Amino acid sequence: MGKRNNRGGKKSFGKRGASNWVEVAKENEKWESYYKTQGLINDDEWDSFKSYCQKQLPLTFRITGSRSHQNEIKQMFKEKHVPILSNVDEKSLNITTEELASLEPPKPMKWYPNELAWQLNIPKGVMKKNEAFQKTQRFLVVETEVGNISRQEAVSMIPPLLLDVQPHHYVLDMCAAPGSKTAQLVEKLHENCEDSIPTGFVVANDSDYRRSHMLVHQVKRLNSPNFVVINHDGQMLPKFRLQPDGPYVKFDRILCDVPCTGDATMRKNINVWRDWTIGNALGLHTLQLNILTRGIQYLKPGGRLVYSTCSLNPVENEAVITAALKKFEGKIRLVNVSNELPGLVRRDGVSSWKVLNKKGEELANVEELEKKQAENPVDNKVPTTVFPPSAAEAEDLHLEYAVRVYPHLQNTGGFFIAVLEKVVDEPEAKPVDTKKRTIEEAADSTTTTTEAVAEEEPNKKQKVQEEEVKVTPVPTMSEKQQKHRLPRDANEEPFIFIPESNPILKKCWSFYSVSDDFPKHSCLVRNATGEPIRSIYFVAPVIKQILTVNESRLKFIHSGIKLFVSQKSTRSTEALWRLQSESLVVLKPFLGNARMIELKELEVLKSLLMETFPSMTAMKELSQSFYDQMSQVDEEGCCFLNVLRPDGEDIFLPVWKGKTNINLMLNKHDTFELLYRIFGIETDKNTTYKQDASGHNSRIVVGKSEESKESEPQADAAKEPETKEAESKEPESSNNEA
């Protein structure tokens, strides 16, 4: 969603007094009067519009991953869960007949491609509490944990789709947290690159330090080496280069989902009803315009920028777009997207609206505003850029090309989206000699390596070399909180690249037979020594350029996927570094066959999922072919299991070969998901791994008694690896090293 500007208050459905609970009323006379005055909703629709604003949102999700994988998850949901959710009664749900009448069968969103986004018109409370929906609830939880499903509000999915991201695009998300739309952008970047690394990248920025780490948690599960998170005020986002003396980077696609009042989120945010005032939007308008202005400066000619908010207020929407179109005088234009996303019920942007001061008094024009400001500056603190265009200007601006989505049109939240295209670029200044940078440019850069991160002062004027349009930065809440930022920790360790000839890396390349076509020069560590200690990470070559050329300009929060992790072992072996499952998708096309095992018997996979460290002897009884292939692998260590399924949806997994036993290297979430998707074995929220004597997380043994569990042979902790589950205990927010 557009970023709601939090101004205090708790996310609750009421206030708890000394002796009772008082629910916040879903009414606000000022809100209702304001929007009726604006005339955005026809009179005959108002009651329906308001009624939907007062209802809870339906549950919505989208299916992620590669195309073949998406189809498998979609078919599983349609075949196993849609029938259950389509045949319920009031008795099984313990709800009234009237409540049951409001429940509809799950349906794919008409406007989202390939039936990959679904809407369940069942409130979250009903879904979680009723036994009839427990299997579906569990399905959603498990698939979300492994990244196959993203629980996201429907209208939040629209802006990334309208950006039309391709694998070669340079993409910028200016106000990225909490990250659901950023995840969509990363997914689109990789959509047609299952066997290759995209040449493009996604830079995700957020001004709030803590929220930027929330963003990492949201997108990290996608395991993309073409993704980087930075922490800057979007109004003053520093420009950067890919080469030390090269031109500044311009972007093919920019998402500008700005901070807003969030007054279209009242279906899920009860505080909007209580806290809404006219002044909220007036206070954010300049900030929104400044961020949009910065984004336009970063856009390539022919590039596309999407501006969006989760507000319905023209002051935050059409007024901002109008001001930007006037400021850039024909260098940008609104794009007509009426033929894109067919099936999306929408309304056109508006070309006229009323401007009210904080007291609710209408202001006809700038002259009247200035007069009232002289009389009462407090109540008339209104930016001059909020006024609508004249009739003649409106004809040229085409504000009707913007998209308005209202809650009652298709049972969603509200949203505003405008798609802009750059027609003509600003004159490009000569590249600055990096050895002779001006004092002003130096002030625009910050350090993220071994020195403390420099703070951006709220009103500091920064000089950017080729900037044609100046903005006056508006202090944001996150900037005011900068004095109380978290201390530097491992999450902010430097990104230090190691040569491909590093002795440890050379052993890994040889051990796993990695092709020279793989960009081996893009491996790095996150520690001050610059040497591989615990983890080795990988980034796409273009991300390496960003990290190395701009380390003094950008405040980097996160980038890279884990490639190799040091293996604790007392045994003398070359396999002291195991390959991480999160990097398998990237590395698979470049791996040799020496440690590759093909598996056709699904019963072997089932056994590996349900038990940890089964003996080689036990595996021989299940499959002679699998046993022979494992025996032919020369050394102990990580191998790769290519599971050939009858339906053609093969699975590629890491497996550890020990001296006498083997172990599938998956965490519990991946294990539970595969048990259900491949074998139909269900788990519940109380299902956990049992612990063996060595302290390793063992797999759940479904259907066995406690006695049989205790009698199983145990693995030698000194000779076997930790599973990936142990790694998941590291901080979710960053690929850091201890």
Binding positions for S-adenosyl-L-methionine are 175-181, 206, 233, 257
Alpha helix positions (H), 412-476? 439-444
Cβ-count burial of 110 within 10 angstroms (0-12 exposed, 13-18 middle, 19+ buried)?
Answer: middle
* Residue 232, both tokens: 């800057």
Contact between 41 and 49 under an 8 Å Cβ cutoff? The reply is yes
Nearest Cα residue to 727 out of 562, 556, 541: 562
Nearest Cα residue to 172 out of 159, 164, 182: 182
SS (H, E, C) 662-729: EEECCCHHHHHHHHHHHHCCCCCCCCCCCECCCCCECCCCCCCCHHHHHCCCCCCCCCCCCCHHHHCC
**Catalytic residue check, 523:** no
Single-letter amino acid code for the residue at 312: L
Contact between 180 and 218 under an 8 Å Cβ cutoff? The reply is yes
Binding residues: 175-181, 206, 233, 257
Which run of H or E residues covers position 306? strand 299-309
For residues 248-264, one letter each, b for 16 or more C-beta atoms within 10 angstroms of the residue's C-beta and e for the rest, the string is bbbbbbbbbbbbbbbbb
Single-letter amino acid code for the residue at 300: K
Alpha helix positions (H), 299-432? 318-328, 366-375, 391-397, 407-410
* Residue 193, both tokens: 């690159």
- Cis bond leading into 178, ω under 30°? yes
Looking from the CA of 422 toward its CB, the CA atoms found within 13 Å total 22
The count of other CB atoms within 10 Å of the CB of residue 630 is 18
Taking CA atoms, 79 is separated from 74, 151, 602, 736, in Å, by 9, 20, 21, 41
Which of 53, 256, 260, 310 is catalytic? The answer is: 310
- Helix, strand, coil percentages (3-state) for the chain, rounded to 5, are 35, 15, 45
For residues 146-161, one letter each, b for 16 or more C-beta atoms within 10 angstroms of the residue's C-beta and e for the rest, the string is bbbbbebbbbbbbbbb
Distance of CA 349 to the CA centre of its chain: 27
Single-letter amino acid code for the residue at 86: S
- Angle in degrees, CA 465, 471, 473, rounded to 5: 110
Residues known to be catalytic: 310
